[in-house]
Structure 1
């Protein structure tokens, strides 16, 4: 076929005529079909070219070697699959089916960028390969590139509108960029076709809860449980509303599901939901034991190393000296638009966001993944570990800071649905990147939401997060994480005095108007009464506090750790004197 490949470049019409004859005799001749596709593309006969490209893919999947690779992937034998794929692609570098399988392998081991590059190569060779385009959308979604994923899915669905898996993924992606009504429409259509699909009912429930249609969301969750009573994530989703109380029948159903040897994810969700159920009944011991069991399962899955956070804060302290900060002052993008609300999860950041989003000049969005993604990318490009962004920033050309600030504004533009001049990114974990934010967006505002460490840390222990927050599944880990957060904020206060505005959650509960006025003064905004009536705001809220911030300020969450104090020794030891001093730092 080497001579034919050369002929395509010189005389694609003659090459196409010859190749049509070959595939006429053997329609499963994959190499000939691929070359025919190339020749037809060169002639501008795109429809026929696509048919040949897809025929080549179908033919390749009948090959015994390809079947062996597929079997190895199915069995999880990635080492064997990789060896066979590398050999095959050396011999047949344009085998699109093999390229797609290599992309799947890369995605499985977390090499999402490599997977994306492979899938784009597959689509360059066979633009009509919808399965590869659907895979690309999934890889983009996993990289938090939801707008890009949506665009790929729209193209897939234009060709294959009935694909339920791609419609489901599109609904999820649309929700992540704030197109909630369109997402709900998609879920409704899917459920008309698949009314007994428990996870679809659950996904619809998630979206209904986000937009504040709570009763409908609960009904969707209950429908999911009627279909699949042991689906732990649904039980936890109900518990995570914070406003739902489980009755005796609910607890019996969860205990029965737990006794039935469920899958690990169902098991840990059931433990967290039962922890909440018994806690609501003031039965501290069974409540704690369930939380402890759920956390142990999740901690084993995630394998968090607290030293990694400590080392990152060490790097911040070492790199962000007064001279370092002064030398880079004002070099980032000058836009004042973003407002960052950061701290620990469960520290009141959603409440602050809801208060600010009730102001006529401020738009609430969600917890945006962009700052960590950009900082970690820069660290990797510099040849460092993902958490070593301070070292990468120290070596960065000054002009790069403004480029990164502009990139953040561009990446988050899709989240801005109104004409308001300011918008919020309330990802709590951004405390780890506060110095990065300061350098790339020197006029952006940064707000540190801080809550009493025992309330905050134990609230994290009782919370199962949809993803991330690996620190939160061990009492000692949580305490150390809180202490490292305080250490980082103390350092920024020393080298960037007045740069970060702090709101102590308990002070906000005691004096809402005073704290809100001080907060708005820091932002340079006039006081508006609507900020105190934040609970009337009907905007979508994605976090675990979604229902709590739809009620007036209350003290229900204060002191909840006290009923569990006898089990909190590791947390208290890790925190040291912070329960007494956190508000003075």
Structure 2
């Protein structure tokens, strides 16, 4: 049993961790500083202060504390922690350089190799991530590590290897719904090669967790649709959606109120008012809703060879939130929407471009393909006046149906109930209509239906909008090595097709609550 200083340090850190669990990071920082005052040369205290400072949104302090821990101890966990802190501070080039140093020193440390894989994966370096996951698994087999490897291989188009990983995963965890869903989405299923009967058998046996059952139902729905069994596919899809919705605590009322206030305040005059933005060129925002052709538009741009993929970045929204918080701290009476009009737009744009360029390898032109950036078009126009915004638009019912039949993990909680899905779609369309009114000529709309029926004509429009010289390669199928970290990763490597156009009309009866909402909003056409 510990006694003396070691016991006091252990108790103090335990008390600090409890404060963090209670979402009291400022109190945890204060406690950590007291401990550090008594014991200035204890690495564990500095590592705790780094985490507490991160949760208190003080990244410079967090990095300073972890640097002190590194100086006091050769524990590689402190350096991994620094890598993540650097990444969160948008010093991603430093994070990757640190990962390279750690990789050379990792030796037979399986945990460290897996952690490095996670860090590389987070920075869109899939081949490096795969290499480190493989090295970790060669030393020690762990199911979560194998799953991470399978997901990375899915996005890197290493389908056969991913299927082998999935076989091992299901042998170890036969009720893992996320693995079953990944298996079904790896490729288009065929009558000669599918998992329909296997999924039926697993569902008949039952699942201990509702989340896993929901995933299995989505997997079965996807495979049945691939096989043309549309009626049964839809029934399984709706069963899976109900199961998934039952696991969520979703209340969008505050979100919709904020959107309404943004529309009220972001008037033509407010948007036209001159501000100092960051004039750097190169950012291309491809936005809208998921499953509307955003990845296909991205693919066409990447085929130019002059545009890099920065991924689906959450950077802009995160930096915007931080900026709004700073404004509101000085002006407590402001709402979020009011504060967003008083930002330091140049600083926001500069910080965004610095972090995004690092993920894009310094490319002069890069794509940020986070669909939800549609919420920020007004702020993007002020912070980055030279950015290009491309908005993908799809038939309302097809758009909603495509979202409904995709299982998203940790995102798009509105997508599991027909009326909630319709409400979100309506709010999105109304906001985009508003942006077009107050930002005339600043957003290029590209219709999904036109993109898949006239890919050359639409790719030419996109290239012209972005100032690129068009190339016939724009409409070619990308090389197998291209990375698409998106739910559409498998589909986007196929030749362009229009099979999904009006596919929702097969299910008008089942989609009736959604149709009724869209009709009432004037957004549904037979």
CA distance in 1: counterparts of 2:293 and 2:248, whole angstroms: 25
Pick aligned residue for 2:134 from 188, 197, 202: 188
| Residue matched to 2:161 | 216
Contact 1:358 1:537 in 2 (8 A): no
CA distance in 2: counterparts of 1:310 and 1:83, whole angstroms: 31
Pick aligned residue for 2:267 from 321, 324, 340: 321
The reply to whether residue 168 of structure 1 matches residue 114 of structure 2 is yes
CA distance in 1: counterparts of 2:33 and 2:358, whole angstroms: 41
CA distance in 2: counterparts of 1:132 and 1:301, whole angstroms: 36
Helix, strand or coil at the partner of 1:410: helix
* Residue-by-residue CA offset, 1:259-282 (whole Å, 9 max, x unaligned): 1413x5433322322332344445
Contact 2:203 2:213 in 1 (8 A): no
| Residue matched to 1:16 | none
Helix, strand or coil at the partner of 2:390: strand
| Residue matched to 2:315 | 370
1:116-195 matched pairs, under 5 angstroms: 121=65, 124=68, 127-128=71-72, 130=75, 131=77, 134=80, 150=96, 161-194=107-140
| Residue matched to 2:255 | 309
| Residue matched to 2:498 | 555
| Residue matched to 2:338 | 391
5+ residue gaps in structure 1? 1-25, 31-55
1:581, distance to aligned residue in structure 2 (A)? 6.2
The reply to whether residue 427 of structure 1 matches residue 374 of structure 2 is no
| Residue matched to 1:467 | 410
Contact 1:354 1:364 in 2 (8 A): no
The reply to whether residue 543 of structure 1 matches residue 490 of structure 2 is no
| Residue matched to 2:470 | 527
| Residue matched to 1:512 | 455
* Residue-by-residue CA offset, 1:461-480 (whole Å, 9 max, x unaligned): 22122332222232222211
Q: CA RMSD in A?
A: 3.8
| Residue matched to 2:425 | 482
Distance 1:88 1:255, change over 3 A: same
CA distance in 1: counterparts of 2:13 and 2:466, whole angstroms: 61
Contact 1:112 1:143 in 2 (8 A): no
How many residue pairs match? The answer is 514
1:502, distance to aligned residue in structure 2 (A)? 0.3
Contact 2:401 2:504 in 1 (8 A): yes
CA distance in 2: counterparts of 1:303 and 1:537, whole angstroms: 39
| Residue matched to 1:411 | 355
| Residue matched to 1:8 | none
Helix, strand or coil at the partner of 1:567: coil
TM superposition score normalised by structure 2: 0.84
CA distance in 1: counterparts of 2:169 and 2:345, whole angstroms: 48
CA distance in 1: counterparts of 2:378 and 2:247, whole angstroms: 30
Helix, strand or coil at the partner of 2:313: coil
1:5-154 matched pairs, under 5 angstroms: 29-30=4-5, 56=6, 59-60=7-8, 65=11, 69=15, 78=21, 92=35, 94=37, 97=44, 111=55, 113=57, 121=65, 124=68, 127-128=71-72, 130=75, 131=77, 134=80, 150=96
The reply to whether residue 201 of structure 1 matches residue 146 of structure 2 is yes
Distance 1:515 1:352, change over 3 A: same
Pick aligned residue for 1:255 from 200, 203, 224: 203
CA distance in 2: counterparts of 1:28 and 1:126, whole angstroms: 25
* Residue-by-residue CA offset, 1:286-333 (whole Å, 9 max, x unaligned): 54454345434544554332323322322222222122122226x312
Distance 1:368 1:454, change over 3 A: same
CA distance in 2: counterparts of 1:412 and 1:308, whole angstroms: 29
Distance 1:555 1:149, change over 3 A: same
Contact 1:356 1:364 in 2 (8 A): no
CA distance in 2: counterparts of 1:395 and 1:422, whole angstroms: 28
CA distance in 2: counterparts of 1:418 and 1:122, whole angstroms: 27
Contact 1:103 1:116 in 2 (8 A): no
* Residue-by-residue CA offset, 1:429-487 (whole Å, 9 max, x unaligned): 00011111111111111000111121111221221223322222322222111111111
* Residue-by-residue CA offset, 1:331-371 (whole Å, 9 max, x unaligned): 31222201110000111100000011111332233111111
* Residue-by-residue CA offset, 1:147-195 (whole Å, 9 max, x unaligned): 666566667667765443332232122123232222221111112112x
1:343-362 matched pairs, under 5 angstroms: 343-362=288-307
Identify the structure with bigger relative contact order (alpha carbons < 8 Å, sequence gap 6+).
2
The reply to whether residue 444 of structure 1 matches residue 387 of structure 2 is yes
| Residue matched to 2:283 | 338
Contact 1:341 1:427 in 2 (8 A): yes
